[in-house]
Amino acid sequence: GSTLQAAAAESGRYFGTAIAGFRLSDSAYTTIANREFNMITAENEMKIDATEPNQNQFSYGAGDQIVNWARSNGKQVRGHTLAWHSQQPGWMQNMSGSALRSAMLNHVTQVATHYRGQIHSWDVVNEAFQDGSSGARRDSNLQRTGNDWIEAAFRAARAADPNAKLCYNDYNTDDWTHAKTQAVYNLVRDFKARGVPIDCVGFQSHFNSQSPVPGNYQTTLSSFAALGVDVQITELDIEGSGTAQADNYRRVVQACLAVSRCTGISVWGVRDTDSWRASGTPLLFDGNGNKKPAYTATLNAL
Ligand code: XIL
C-alpha cells in the first residue's frame, strides 16, 4: 500500500490518528488525515468535560462533528473516553461516593447510547492504575467510590452499546516487567475469568527518553492477547527525530504485526505541530505536512 491505512489493511489492521475538531477547517491537515488514516479518535471532544459539561446536560456537537467527518469519509471511530480521573467537568470533580458512582454510570450509559452502533472500540476506562512499583489503583474520586467501579463501567457500556468493543486503556503499561503492566494484566485476567465484559486493551504508547519503546513490547502485547482480548496501540507518539525515531516506529509496528490480535495502531496527531506535546517532534509528518523518516519506516514495516 502507498498509504498507512492501505498498508495496514493488507494484514487486516487499521491505522488511525487522533483528530482535533478545531483543525478540521485546515485543509492541509484534513488532506493528510483523510489520505493516510482509517480510524479516528477525538483528541478531546468525547471526554467527560466535553460531553457532559453540566450534570445530565449532554453536549454532543463537538464529538458529533468528528464522528460525522470520520464516517462521511469512510472511517471508523474509537470512542475516547467514558470514565477517567482527568478532564472531568467541575461538577463531577466535586462529587464523591454513591452520587458520583451513579453519575459516572449515567454518563457511560448516556454517551455510549448516543453513539451506539457508530463506535469500533470504546476506551471505557482510562488510566486507572498508578505509576511506580506499587501496582495499585490510582487514587481518584472514581476509585474512592469502590474498587468495583471499573467493572461497573464496563457492564454499563456493554448494556448501552452491545456491538462496540470495550477497551481498558493506559500508558506506561508497555514494559512487561513493570508493576503497572502486571496490575492491568491481572485486572483483565480477572475480568475474563469472571465474565466481566472486556474485549480489548489499549496501549497508549507515548514514548520518550524517560519511557522508551521497551525491548519486551511484543511480549507485553502477546501476553495480553493470550488472555483472549484484542490489543490496540491507541495514542502512539515517539519523541526524537531522524533515523533513531524511525527505528523506534519500526519496532512498534513490527511488534504489533507479530501479534495476530494486535488489530490496529493509532498515532496521537497528524503533524508534529498538532501534537499535544508542548515541544518536540513525535509524529509522522513535520509541521509542513512532509513525510518524515518515521513515516517511511512505518509504511515499510506495515
Ligand atoms: C491529551 C490531549 O492530546 C490534549 O489536547 C489535552 O489537553 C490533554 O489530553 N492520554 C490520553 C489522552 O488518554 O486523552 C491525552 O490527550 C494524552 C494522554
Indicate the pTM of the whole model: 0.98
For residue 236, which of 216, 253, 259, 224 has the smallest C-alpha distance? 253
Q: Residue 34: its pLDDT value, please?
A: 98
For residue 107, which of 137, 138, 84, 76 has the smallest C-alpha distance? 84
Alpha carbon of 54 to ligand 1 centroid (Å): 21
Q: Residue 1: its pLDDT value, please?
A: 84
C-alpha cell at 99: 452520587
For residue 39, which of 24, 17, 20 has the smallest C-alpha distance? 17
Q: Residue 278: its pLDDT value, please?
A: 84
User: In the structure, which protein residues have their CB atom closer than 6 angstroms to any atom of ligand 1?
Assistant: 43-44, 126, 204, 235, 276
Q: Residue 302: its pLDDT value, please?
A: 98
Q: Residue 263: its pLDDT value, please?
A: 98
Please identify every residue annotated as catalytic: 235
State phi, psi for 111 to the nearest 5 degrees: -70, -45
Helices 149-160, 97-114: crossing angle, 10 deg rounding: 30
Tell me the C-alpha distance between 274 and 299, whole Å: 20
Q: Residue 156: its pLDDT value, please?
A: 99
The DSSP code for 143 is G
Q: Residue 72: its pLDDT value, please?
A: 98
276 Cα nearest atom in ligand 1: 3
Alpha carbon of 43 to ligand 1 centroid (Å): 6
Within 161-241, residue ranges assigned H as helices are 179-194, 217-225
Residues facing residue 264 across a β-bridge: 14, 232
Q: Residue 33: its pLDDT value, please?
A: 98
Helices 293-301, 242-257: crossing angle, 10 deg rounding: 20
HSE on the CB side for 102, CA within 13 Å? 5
Judge whether 197 and 152 are in contact, CB under 8 Å. no
Tell me the C-alpha distance between 44 and 109, whole Å: 19
Give the residue, out of 22, 41, 43, with the most ligand 1 atoms within 8 A of its beta carbon, to mutate for a pocket test: 43
Tell me the C-alpha distance between 123 and 41, whole Å: 10
* Complex ipTM tops 0.85: yes
Those residues of the chain that have pLDDT short of 70 are none
Q: Residue 175: its pLDDT value, please?
A: 98
State phi, psi for 197 to the nearest 5 degrees: -70, 115
47 Cα nearest atom in ligand 1: 14
